């Protein structure tokens, strides 16, 4: 089975406007689809590819233009400094969970496998798991996670059901979690609801929004003038952060003005709207359906 089929591959590579001799970063190597396309566009250039999952980097080819790093892009600046790069020409982030993660039941990313442990760690060496969140977090913290990260209207009741169920015994796997929250799951929309529950837990376990904010902030200093940042997001929380940052230079609120009333933002948007996959791509790869690509160009 293929490790992962990259979404919006042609669009993201085109959006990076790759210089053959440039330095580029793929902060989410995954199955290597985007990275290979970048490498194919380079001559004397270099690609630094990161992934939190050591298994993903097993897909990395032997290529002297490629530097593969097992690490979190939260620390991107440090990794680039290690290789002597102060500035780069382009950064790509494909924020989705890989097909491999969904298909490997023991990783716990999919609610389709009842016996799957509640894990959800992108980095298998990290300490926090979904099991710990479900069994140890206070009710109010669980409510906040489901309300903020899943935008679930019944987050309070959902959290209460989990806390009530775990008093009878630990909730260790997907089947037990689904049983615990069964009263909350709307009929006819079971998969959509459970996807949001799992999204909430995954974001918490992997600090996904904090990592994204860090990446966006670091990119301001790391990108050359005219350098490009391409971000593929899969849910509104991620996409909203990227959209606001490109538009206003902030994650919330309007752009700040100087004393003369001029707006100074670090990026200009390559396109007015996010780029979505074509119907043909969705037909070939259903997991690309929710993908949105935004491209920012570093201002002077």
What are 241-254's pLDDT values in tens digits?
999 999 999 998 88
Please give the average per-residue pLDDT across 180-185, as a whole number.
97
Q: What is the pLDDT of residues 119-153, one digit of tens each?
A: 999 999 999 999 999 999 999 999 999 999 999 99
Chain centre distance of CA 130:
17
Q: Between residues 300 and 227, which one has the greater pLDDT?
A: 227
HSE of 297 in the Cβ direction (CA atoms, 13 Å)? 12
Q: What is the DSSP letter of 183?
A: G
Q: Which residue has the tokens 């992108």?
A: 122
Would the pLDDT of 5 be above 50? yes
List, for residues 262-280, the tens digit of each pLDDT value.
788 999 999 999 999 999 9
- Rounded to an integer, the average pLDDT of 191-207 is 97
Whether the per-residue pLDDT at 2 is higher than 60: the answer is no
User: What mean pLDDT is predicted for residues 56-78?
Assistant: 96
Q: What is the pLDDT of residue 106?
A: 87
Q: What percent of the chain has pLDDT over 70?
A: 98
- Checking if the pLDDT of 213 tops 90, the result is yes
User: What per-residue confidence (pLDDT) applies to 98?
Assistant: 74
Cβ-Cβ contacts under 8 Å for 50 (sequence gap 6 or more): 25, 26, 27, 28, 29, 68, 69, 70, 71, 72, 73, 76, 79
Distance CA 131, CA 198 (A): 12
- Is the CB of residue 129 less than 8 Å from the CB of residue 121? yes
232-238 mean pLDDT: 97
**Quick one: pLDDT at residue 3?**
60
Report yes or no: 227 and 296 within 8 Å, Cβ to Cβ.
Answer: no
Query: Starting at the edge strand that comes first in sequence, how are the strands of the sheet with 267-269 ordered?
Result: 66-70, 46-51, 23-26, 88-94, 223-233, 292-298, 267-269
Q: What is the pLDDT of residue 1?
A: 44
The full set of domains in the chain, from first to last, is: 9-99+208-298 (3.40.50.150), 104-206 (1.10.150.170)
DSSP 187-222: TT-HHHHHHHHHHHHHHHHHTHHHHHHHHHHHHHHH
Count of C-beta atoms within a 10 Å radius of residue 140:
11
């Amino acid at each position: 089975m293929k490790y992962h089929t990259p979404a919006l591959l042609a669009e993201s590579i085109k959006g990076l406007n790759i210089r053959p001799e440039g330095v580029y970063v793929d902060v989410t190597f995954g199955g290597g689809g985007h990275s290979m396309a970048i490498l194919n566009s380079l001559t004397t250039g270099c690609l630094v590819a990161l992934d939190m999952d050591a298994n993903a980097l097993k897909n990395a080819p032997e290529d002297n233009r490629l530097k593969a790093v097992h690490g979190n892009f939260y620390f991107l600046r440090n990794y680039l400094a290690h290789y002597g790069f102060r500035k780069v020409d382009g950064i790509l982030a494909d924020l989705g969970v890989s097909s491999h993660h969904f298909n490997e039941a023991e990783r716990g990313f999919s609610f389709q496998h009842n016996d799957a442990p509640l894990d959800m760690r992108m980095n298998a060496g990290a300490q926090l798991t979904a099991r710990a969140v479900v069994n140890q977090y206070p009710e109010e913290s669980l409510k906040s996670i489901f309300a903020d990260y899943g935008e679930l209207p019944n987050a309070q009741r959902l959290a209460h059901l989990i806390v009530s169920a775990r008093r009878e015994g630990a909730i260790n796997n997907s089947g037990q979690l689904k049983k615990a929250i069964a009263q909350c799951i709307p009929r006819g929309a079971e998969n959509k609801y459970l996807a949001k529950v799992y999204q909430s837990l995954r974001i918490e376990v992997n600090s996904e929004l904090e990592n994204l904010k860090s990446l966006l902030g670091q990119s301001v200093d790391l990108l050359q003038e005219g350098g490009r940042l391409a971000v593929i997001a899969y849910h509104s929380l991620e996409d909203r952060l990227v959209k606001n940052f490109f538009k206003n230079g902030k994650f919330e609120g309007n752009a700040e003005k100087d004393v003369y009333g001029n707006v100074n933002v670090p990026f200009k948007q390559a396109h007015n709207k996010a780029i979505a996959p074509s119907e043909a791509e969705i037909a070939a790869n259903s997991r690309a359906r929710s993908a949105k690509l935004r491209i920012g160009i570093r201002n002077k």
